[in-house]
Every structure is written in C-alpha cells, then in structure tokens.
Amino acid sequence: MTLEQLWNGWRSAYVRGEEVRGEEVRGEEGRAARSASGTIGAASGSVFTRILSSGLDDIETHIVHRGSSVFAILNAFPYASGHLMVLPYREIAHLEDLTAAESAELWATVTDAVSAVKRSHRPDALNVGINLGASAGGSISEHLHVHVVPRWEGDSNFMTSVANTRTLPEPLVETAARIRDAWPSRTGSQ
C-alpha cells in the first residue's frame, strides 16, 4: 500500500485568520513541487546533488540554510510540516566518510535546525534521525542526510490510517520562509 500526500497548504492562512489567496499560493506550491520532484536538470548524482547543481535559487529549491560544508533543505515529501534534512554538500553515504570539519558542522547544523523548527512551528516534540543504507529505510542512501521532523500530540489522524494519506496544512514555500526566519544567527546562515 502506498502512502499518498494530500496538500492543503492554502488552509494555513485560513487557520491563522489571514486572507486566503488560493490561486497564488497553489501556483507557488506547484512551481516548488515541480522543481523538487525530479525535473531539476540532467546532472548525475543524488537528487540533492542535482538540486545543488541545478542553478535554481534557495527559495525555489527550499534550501533553508547553507553553511561552509553542509546545508539544510525541506523534505519535498514531508511527514509533517517543517520536516527538513541536514546534509553535507559532498555526496557520501556513510557517517565515517565525513571529515572532522563536516561532522562538526553537520551536528551543529542539526542542533540549529532543531532550534529553528521549535521556534517556527512550536511542535510538541521532534524526531531526529538517520537511515544509513537502503535496508534501513534510506530512500536516498547514497547521500547521507539527517532528518528533523516536528511532531504534535495527535498528529496522526484518520486520513493516515483509513485513506493511507497525510494531510499537510502548509505549502513548502511558507514552511521554508518560517524556518529561515527562525534560523539561529550564530552559525551565520545565508
């Protein structure tokens, strides 16, 4: 059974009591989904490597932070609004292949990502984890990445269990902007 995504991102503005500009939001989300879904150029390597070499800007690719050797990007198919990943620019599969500098920056950036998501989305809890290898659930196992996933009490509802579909109330472009605004400045986010 395949789990589907049901994007209802235009609802976040409504929930917060803001004016809803349906077509405009859907248009931005549509462009973001197209750029994140594999139409990112013909470069070889992981989807992350292709995104980095695409020439697209960080807004369009949903990169929320760039450091000297690692970056943070929203998951194009998130488990929850605010789901992001931290990974090295270098396409490597194993933790032990990180240089000392990459390792230090990776974990500092994971910490900053946790802080940013806590500020931007105010979750009840977070999952932070790595799937090392395809058998561990790593869908892009050739490019090491650390997931940061916000969680809320009761965030699994009938749609997941009955319709095998997740509802995501916020478009990626809005999630990215919120996380960028909340990113700690001590790491020199760009």
Residue with the larger pLDDT of the pair 75 and 5: 75
Report which listed range, 97-106, 132-141, 167-176, is most confident: 97-106
Contact between residue 56 and residue 40 where contact means Cβ atoms under 8 Å apart: yes
Q: What pLDDT was estimated at residue 126?
A: 94
Asked whether the predicted pLDDT for residue 30 surpasses 80, the reply is: no
Contact between residue 142 and residue 46 where contact means Cβ atoms under 8 Å apart: yes
Share of the chain above pLDDT 90, in %: 54
3-state secondary structure (DSSP) of residue 74: strand
Dmax over CA atoms of the chain, in Å, equals 49
Q: What pLDDT was estimated at residue 23?
A: 28
Neighbours of 11 (CB within 10 A): 16
Q: What pLDDT was estimated at residue 80?
A: 87
Give the pair of three-digit tokens for residue 123: 């979750």
Q: What pLDDT was estimated at residue 152?
A: 87
Neighbours of 182 (CB within 10 A): 17
Asked whether the predicted pLDDT for residue 129 surpasses 80, the reply is: yes
Contact between residue 92 and residue 82 where contact means Cβ atoms under 8 Å apart: no
| Residue 64 belongs to domain with CATH number | 3.30.428.10
Closest C-alpha to 46, from 140, 162, 163: 140
Total domain count for the chain?
1
Per-residue confidence at 134, pLDDT binned at 50, 70, 90? confident
Q: What pLDDT was estimated at residue 6?
A: 54
Distance CA 152, CA 157 (A): 11
H/E segment holding residue 146: strand 146-151
Query: What value does the CA radius of gyration of the chain take, rounded to a whole number of Å?
Result: 16
What is the tens place of the pLDDT at every residue in 34-60?
Answer: 344 444 555 689 999 999 999 999 999
Q: What pLDDT was estimated at residue 28?
A: 35
| Catalytic site residue from 62, 121, 143, 145 | 145
Asked whether the predicted pLDDT for residue 26 surpasses 80, the reply is: no
Distance CA 130, CA 95 (A): 10
What is the tens place of the pLDDT at every residue in 89-124?
Answer: 999 999 999 999 999 999 999 999 999 999 999 999
Neighbours of 129 (CB within 10 A): 12
Domain housing 69:
4-187
- Residue 145 annotated in active site: yes
